[in-house]
Amino acid sequence: MLFPWPSAGAGGHASATSSEDPLLAAPDVQLETPRLILRVPRIGDFERYAEMLADESSLHIGGPLLRHEAWRRFLQMPGAWMLQGFAMFSVVEKASGRWMGQAGPWQPDGWPGTEVGYSFHPDARGKGYATEACAAAMDWAFDVLGWSEVIHSIAPANTASQAVARRLGSRNRGPGALPPPLDNHPIDIWGQTREEWLARRQEAVA
């Protein structure tokens, strides 16, 4: 069973009726690409997650973070999986079994759109993993969640993430805003529609 709770509809938000909700359980969702496994986060992912967010060269929104700050952010993803029915996947390298980063759908309350976000550990960068993982996650978001478009919220200085967005076929739509407490971080909204994504996928296999 994909969602053992009220499932997310096309708008991306699960309905909540607390008195009738079944016992929460971790979902059984896993995607595979040639080099990667995308799965729901596990507690053992935290060490490398904390390393990723502590990295001074990281340009993720709101970072770098101390370990206790990273812990609170880490818990957001499994919580969203259980309550909302989707969140970013943990990305694991098949060859080594190591946690490489996270990528996938993300839409907290007040978010500027239906996002597929991504962030990767320093030793996973420059290998094309972000593009590979995001392509699988975007297929899943369009096919399973029924999203009509995908956005990426990217800091203007984060040229590496901008390059990933371009490789995915997304375009810079201009400045955007995140909800508090991230509203003081400047971002650009990159994105594309479901139709644009499907057209590119068809061209790639033609």
Q: What is the pLDDT of residues 66-84, one digit of tens each?
A: 999 999 989 999 999 999 9
Per-residue pLDDT averaged across 101-126, rounded? 96
| Topology (CATH) of 30-205 | Aminopeptidase (3.40.630)
Please confirm whether the linkage preceding 41 is cis (ω < 30° from 0).
Answer: no
Domain limits, the chain:
30-205
Give 62's pLDDT tier (boundaries 50, 70, 90): low
Give 58's pLDDT tier (boundaries 50, 70, 90): low
Q: What is the pLDDT of residues 25-44, one digit of tens each?
A: 667 899 999 999 999 999 99
The CA-based diameter of the chain, rounded to the nearest angstrom, is 50
Predicted structure pTM score:
0.85
Report how far residue 94's alpha carbon sits from residue 70's, in angstroms, rounded to the nearest whole number.
25
